[in-house]
Structure 1
């Protein structure tokens, strides 16, 4: 059963990002699918050369500074996300006017596409951080650290002791609530995106250098879904040993 194992904490917060690289949406409950939280990063903004907009440049991704000032959300009644400009103007992502608005705002041709077999996630379907790691980083930086800077799907309340706790979880299973089981993979590599402001979140003290020196340029962990189901804020999280 899911609650068998060692309790490690509870779900403190849940976030999804209906449009990749935009500011996301806090949730009280979420459905977990094989590809992560339902509707998470289902849509993305694309550049004229087919790159997926992000905070970094790779073979797949293209930086578009300022996109984090836009927000995306689903209201539960409509499966098509709304994208909001920094001025609060809402646009349906399937409306051609939305691409026109982005193109005008950023001075380059931009379009919106749904994910298909090509996933929009950078590294993994799920990303989680713990309050222990947030406390450890806050100690290094000399002040509180906003969890949303790191764009997690799950924030786990593991207490306030400053420790990069989850880096020792690679390969283990975590049961969340009564249904969901995930396997923790590697640590989450970080880029300059964590030091950029986003809608509703100031950048704060730069963290990338501190993570490079003290935690191998990682923060939080990647995870994959072993058992789908529903999770919610407050759910117990138990460690069940080596993943399959």
Structure 2
């Protein structure tokens, strides 16, 4: 059954940095190609995220070049002042020292296989256009999708808010190749309170999600069959 199409694809090459919207990308065993492939760990070996450093969200990471399985394209980072930095270079490392304000190790997981990596939940996070529209009504403010750090936005045929939550345990096919299994709710945390534009915190959005949605927004999916997805691909729900 046709349930919708791909409206938006977003990957986050650096964990807790703003992501990049792409026209098409590979879907790997671990999720979107290069998603959360780069990260920072503290001296205890734990990932450093927006929870500890809200200003991380103001840095946007994006790949510059062709996707290959041998090596990532060059990774660029746009700083809040507009400067474009390159991962690993001196200027980038100096900027990260100022940003993180703590001892940190930069880690990179290979493109072909990330057995654990910095993806700490399921492989892919999906939301629907109808759910975003409904949350906008519930909150009373325009919802910036970047707060939710989703990978895929579905444009639904049936514009029922939160329809995707009825698909738990079912499979969807995207385009001709990719098969995902819809697993469970995404339980939200303080990260959605951080404005992606200026990193200021507003707890009212999280309070709304807790009150109106039992602290759930978006659904997690695991990858059953890899392939490539692109904007406009049709999405079918399997019986």
TM (normalized to structure 2)?
Answer: 0.88
Distance 1:203 1:125 in 2: 27
The answer for the alignment partner of 1:66 in structure 2 is 55
Q: Distance in 1 between matches of 2:146 and 2:162?
A: 17
Unmatched tracts of structure 2, length 5 or more: 67-71
Q: In the alignment, what sits opposite 1:122?
A: 120
1:60-90 per-residue CA deviation (whole Å, 9 max, x = no partner) reads: xxx2221111110002246231122211223
Q: Count residues in correspondence.
A: 230
Alignment check: 8 A CA contact 2:30 2:115 kept: no
Measure the CA separation in 2 of the matches of 1:191 and 1:14.
22
Per-residue deviation, 1:96: 5.1
Aligned counterpart, 2:161: 163
- Assess if the C-alpha contact under 8 Å between 1:131 and 1:159 holds in 2: no
Picking from 67, 76, 85, the partner of 1:91 is 85
SS in 2 for 1:52: coil
Is contact 2:6-2:234 (8 Å) kept? yes
**Aligned match for 2:96, one of 74, 86, 102:** 102
1:67-82 matches, cutoff 5 A: 67-77=56-66, 79-82=73-76
5 Å matches for 1:1-244? 6-56=1-51, 63-77=52-66, 79-95=73-89, 97-115=91-109, 117-158=115-156, 161=159, 163-199=161-197, 206-241=204-239
Q: Secondary structure at the match of 1:102?
A: helix
> Counterparts of 1:162 and 1:40 in 2: how far apart (Å)?
29
Q: Which residue of 2 aligns with 1:60?
A: none
Contact 1:132 1:159 in 2 (8 A): no
More displaced stretch, 131-140 vs 180-189: 131-140
CA RMSD of aligned residues (A): 2.2
Deviation, 1:205, is: 8.2
Give how far 1:43 is off: 0.5
Q: 5+ residue gaps in structure 1?
A: 1-5, 57-62
Is the CA contact 2:65–2:74 (under 8 Å) kept in the aligned structure 1?
Answer: no
Residue deviations 1:154-201 (CA, integer Å, cap 9, x gap): 000015845221111111101011111100000111111112012489
Cα drift, residue 106 of structure 1: 3.4
Indicate conservation of the 8 Å contact 2:18/2:57, yes or no.
Answer: yes
Mapped partners of 1:200, 1:157: distance in 2: 28
CA deviation after TM superposition for structure 1 residue 131, in Å: 0.9
In structure 1, C-alpha distance between the alignment counterparts of 2:104 and 2:158, rounded to whole Å: 42
From the superposition, tell whether residues 200 and 107 of structure 1 become closer, same or farther in structure 2 (CA, over 3 Å): closer
Contact 1:70 1:84 in 2 (8 A): yes
The whole-number CA distance in structure 2 between the counterparts of 1:36 and 1:218 is: 21
TM-score using structure 1 length: 0.86
